[in-house]
A and B are shown apart, each in its own frame.
Chain A
Amino acid sequence: MIDKFVDKGKIIALAVITVTLLIIFTIRIFYLQVSQGLRFLNASGSISTVSQILPARRGLIYDRHGEQLVFHEDFFAVYVDMRAIDSEDNLIQLRERLKHELELSDSFLDRRMPWSEAKPVTEAVLIREDVAFEKIAYFAENRELFPGVQWQPRSKRIYSEEAGVAHILGYVAEISEDELQILYNDGYRRGDRIGKSGIEKEYDRYLRGAPGRQYFMVDARGQRIHEIEDARQLAQNGSNLYLTIDMRIQRLAYDALAGRRGSVIVLRPSSGEILAMVSNPVFNANSFSERGSRGLAAQIMDPNFPFINRTISAVYPAASPFKIITETTILENEAVSPDFKVYCPGYINIGNLTFYCHDRNGHGWQNLSDALANSCNVYFWTIAKDYLGKDNRGNSDPSKIADIARDFGLGAYTEIDLPGEKSGIIPDRAWKEDTYNSAWVGGDTMNMAIGQGFVQVTPLQMANVTAMVANRGIIFKPHVVMRVSNEDVGFEHTKTAEVLHQSQISQESWRRLNQDMRGVVTRGTGWVLTRATTVAGKTGTGETGIDRQFHDWFVAFAPYETTNPEERIVVVVQIEANNNYQWWSTKIADFIIQGYFAEQSYHDVLRTLQPWYMNWRAVTGDNLPPRPLPSTAAVLATLEE
């Protein structure tokens, strides 16, 4: 007897439920795979790909004639991805090969690439960082011999260490947090290299190019499996820069400076192009990228501050070259007639203080031209104190001088295309009140008249002052880069001369100034040995307050007269105070001018000028061999005649 215990109805209900469920599932799966399949296919691609930046080749830097100053050396860092090695035998084989190819020690490989049963979970292991391209090519061609071996390019930027170009070129290093904060929106990323000083910094945007991108297939841990070749975007290499610098002149200037602490600028006043820029001591730009930065530490601690570009970032008292400004002030304000004479006994008494002219014997009666040629302090003190340095109410007021000084571009930036420029100081009454909380006095004016006191200038500013005299009223913006060019993109841009400042000073004044600066050389303190051209200039000796230690200046332009102003150069030499007080600035400028116009190297300059005041043979190495004594027979022979 069988119970009617099977309820067919319920079974059918269950069957219906089952079938319905499976149909719903089928429809859903159909939706996912067939209807939306493409979308998911794309989605699975995007979560499993990762992109990596392809670094762009940084632009190179050349001098104006195409001499290369920055070089790239390509190296690679080699890694091994241990997950590609599936057996101990394979590992041993690979290690042997790598040991042979990359010259690694057994113990090193033991540490870096050990065999373990546990599946490795770490990223690929770095095994060597400075592998040459040929080795990488070999790895690439024989991939089956080197499973799991990967590499990344690491190029090193190498700078010319000649002639002190380091200050101009600068150096690159990894971008800092502060810089990243500001520059992130411009496309800079963590780990990027960025110029930190000099041209590298100023033109970083042109030099760095644009990075490309590579896409890799990854697993869930982000480990790379292989590259998706089609998606690769090539990098755009950086632009190359051609400087206005002429390496011949740069070397000449550097050699002429002969290791003294100071700076040299050679520029072309007709365009503002800088032909040479030397600041000594120099730093070594390559010490930033070399391993073991002992050299770097020593340079950072050097009390002579090798990293400062003294031509633009160091300020000095202008000293006697400032008399150019004072003379201009006298001329423009018609304070006295240029023929007005002042007697210089070698000193001047103000109240109960005595100030000495630099020749304590005195210069005698001086007019304006004499005073400039001889650099007579007493003349300028007198005129400044009695005629220039007073306002309408008779209070001490240097504003006439200050205004002219500013007209020459002092106290302001020259807008040169290098970072770190200082603007110096041109004081006036308001400035002194603000800074020192005390009133301007006559003594301040006197100091200012001879370029001492509060006046502070950079060598480049003084070069501009000289340029303005040579150009008779115009200064062009000084610049170091002549041309930017990028072959990849077909971009090229040549800089044209830009006016920095046009002065309203009268042409008559310029004529006089030119004449008087020539006088400095022909009959004054600035005599030179060179005959290659005519020179006009102004010497200077800046006081430091330390006995027998003076800054030394010489600013000059040459040729003095010419039908082709474009061939003119301005040379400024500044030697910092040291113990050998010997007016070296003038002599160095002398050598440079000779070398420039006669197209000679420093050694050849010395051989031509044969400066009696130095042992030049020791420098050129021309120690003449002693003449051999004639033999006895030869002597007897001459006697017989």
Chain B
Amino acid sequence: MRAIIEFLKRFDYLIFLPIVVLLTFSVFFVYSAGINSYGISVSNEWQKQIIWASIGLMMFFILTVIDYQRYRDIAIISYIINLLLLLAVLIVGTKISGAKRWLGLGPFGIQPAEFAKIGFILIIARFLSSYGRNPRHASTLGITGLLVLLPMILILRQPDFGTSMVFLVILGMMLFMAGGSALLLTFFVTIIIWFLLLIFFPLYFDLVKERDIWITTLLSSPYWLGWVGAVAFVIIIISLVGWFTYHKWIYLISVYLSTSFGIAVGLTWLAHQRFQTYQWDRLRVFVNPQIDPLGSGWHILQSLTAIGSGGVYGRGYLGGIHSHNQFLPEQSTDFIFSIILEETGFVGAVILLLAYGTLLLRLLFIMSKSRDKFSMLVIGGTFSLLLIHVWINIGMVIGLMPIKGVPLFLLSYGGSSVLSMMILLGIVSSISLRQYR
């Protein structure tokens, strides 16, 4: 009896409440997404979502009850099982739209890639929290690199470029939290900023302003990029010489900027070489959806229209025409947010953003109060996973990010995404229960 009261007192409602809100929305609006224009339900996804949500809540409670140290113990095993599942899906998985992502179990299939994130977070957390591991050491980086490469390669073979990249981001975040240098992180961020500029600047001028200025040709052709890279290289050398000779601040900044720029140029060059047409199309359509309103721009335009037409109060539950008239593809999964916003309006948007915001900030809070490195890192991994997906999915749906189909955790229909996030949150909940005073 006492245990129960204690449990109820320590239980982290700030994690639980947003989860409930999100799952409820999820069930209701997956149902709405399955209604056709005559008002007849043509899909039973909502029923499956109820099952997933129920199983997820069950697992959440079970995991909360179990001491989180156990999870540390099983980290390695889980990781290995994950790898085996990833291997299995490559061999016996079902091929859908050219990718092998599913292991079917009757009408209920799972995506091992989603669950692999759990094992990955656990093992990295365990590894980085083991005695004496410093992320600034090469050995640490090397081993973590290996640990991330294995699942990444297996996932890339499916092929699923996006999901594998997520692993890298999670790793980066966990390294950062484990003590990686802030400077290094900002350096990476600078590279990314240069890279984005180099990629999008020409696209913007080409597609929106429709003007050809010499910079655009300069930056889009591999040949000229080579020259730009060479110039950057020269500047690096000069700056280095300057720094070592004169020890003036300005040379250091120059080194920083030019090196990051140089690397970005290299990446841009790689991008132009390696990016497929469809990936370029996505970027082009992101910059200006109107260039292909019936093809690759369709998703963005439909999503924006659906959201915008929701107004302040929405079109009412089951009142959205985009969902019901089948205008938005993937409306129960990737674009569930658009459907919800069409029917609930700005009010609904605020509620959902608050739910996610609460969840994310709560995760940070628990992280700040964590008693050991392992739990901090597990929470960090979970946090970054959730943040990335929220960022990409909602960003895409509202037109601030290029189209990349990642599920919106706890809202999108899909057993694997619901369960994997519920498991992770269950672990976090277990930590919170035991650590937070």
Binding site for B on A (CB under 8 A): 2-3, 5-11, 14-15, 18-19, 21-22, 24-26, 28-30, 32-34, 36-37, 39-41, 43-44, 47-48, 83-84, 86, 119, 217-221, 223, 225
Contact = CB atoms under 8 A, between A and B. Distances in A.
| Listed residue (A8, A19, A220) with the most chain B CB atoms within 10 angstroms of its CB | A220
Contacts of A37: 308-312
A223 to B, nearest CB: 7
Contact of A40 (B305, B357, B390): B305
A10 B349 contact: no
B360 interface: yes
B306 A223 contact: no
A19 B367 contact: no
Nearest to A41: B309
B398 A83 contact: no
Contacts of A220: 325-327
10 contacts: A5-B178, A8-B368, A14-B364, A18-B360, A24-B400, A30-B346, A33-B312, A37-B308, A84-B38, A225-B38
Interface of B: 36-38, 40, 42, 176-179, 182, 302, 304-312, 321-322, 324-327, 341, 345-346, 349-350, 353, 356-357, 360-361, 364, 367-368, 370-373, 376, 383, 387, 390-391, 394-395, 398-400
Nearest to A87: B40
Contacts of B394: 25
B357 A22 contact: yes
Contacts, number: 131
B386 to A, nearest CB: 10
Contact of B345 (A33, A43, A219, A221): A33
Contacts of A5: 178-179, 373, 376
Contacts of A9: 182
A41 B319 CA distance: 13
A8 B321 CA distance: 47
A220 B325 CA distance: 5
A40 B349 contact: no
A48 B327 contact: yes
The interface residues of chain A, by DSSP majority, are classed as: helix
Contacts of B357: 18-19, 22
B400 A44 contact: no
B309 A29 contact: no
A217 to B, nearest CB: 7
A151 B173 CA distance: 63
A44 B308 CA distance: 9
Contacts of B327: 47-48, 219-220
A40 B309 contact: yes
B39 to A, nearest CB: 9
B391 A19 contact: no
Closest 3 CB pairs of A and B: A40-B308, A219-B325, A220-B326
A33 B341 contact: yes
Contact of A28 (B306, B345, B398): B398
Nearest to B310: A33
A3 B37 contact: no
Given A33-B311, A40-B308, A21 B391 contact: yes
B353 A34 contact: no
A3 B325 CA distance: 58
A35 to B, nearest CB: 9
B305 A217 contact: no
Contacts of B346: 29-30, 33-34
B311 A217 contact: no
B368 A32 contact: no
Nearest to A222: B325
| Listed residue (B325, B361, B370, B376) with the most chain A CB atoms within 10 angstroms of its CB | B325
Given A26-B353, A33-B349, A44-B322, A6 B308 contact: no
Given A11-B364, A219-B325, A25 B309 contact: no
A225 B327 CA distance: 14
Nearest to B354: A22
A7 B398 CA distance: 33
A239 B416 CA distance: 68
Contacts of A22: 353, 356-357
A290 to B, nearest CB: 38
A36 B308 contact: yes
| Listed residue (A28, A29, A34) with the most chain B CB atoms within 10 angstroms of its CB | A29
B398 A34 contact: no
Contacts of B321: 44, 48, 217
Contact of B373 (A3, A10, A24, A41): A3
A504 to B, nearest CB: 69
B374 to A, nearest CB: 10
A6 B370 contact: yes
A218 B398 CA distance: 24
Contacts of A41: 308-309, 311
Contacts of A29: 307, 341, 346, 349, 353, 398
Contacts of B312: 33-34, 37
B326 A221 contact: yes
A32 B307 CA distance: 7
B37 to A, nearest CB: 4
Contacts of B36: 83, 119, 219
A533 B312 CA distance: 89
A15 B309 contact: no
Contacts of B305: 40, 43-44, 47
Contact of A32 (B302, B308, B364, B387): B308
A5 B367 CA distance: 11
| Listed residue (A7, A217, A221) with the most chain B CB atoms within 10 angstroms of its CB | A7
Contacts of A6: 367-368, 370, 376
Given A26-B353, A86-B40, A10 B177 contact: yes
Contact of B177 (A7, A24, A48): A7
A19 B400 contact: no
| Listed residue (B37, B182, B312, B326) with the most chain A CB atoms within 10 angstroms of its CB | B37
A24 B391 CA distance: 11
Given A39-B308, A40-B308, 20 more contacts: A6-B376, A14-B383, A15-B364, A18-B360, A21-B387, A26-B350, A28-B400, A32-B308, A33-B312, A33-B346, A34-B346, A37-B310, A40-B309, A43-B305, A47-B327, A48-B325, A86-B40, A219-B327, A220-B327, A225-B38
B37 A223 contact: yes
Contacts of A83: 36-38, 40
B320 to A, nearest CB: 9
A366 to B, nearest CB: 86
A3 B368 CA distance: 13
A102 to B, nearest CB: 22
A80 B341 CA distance: 34
Contacts of A217: 321, 325
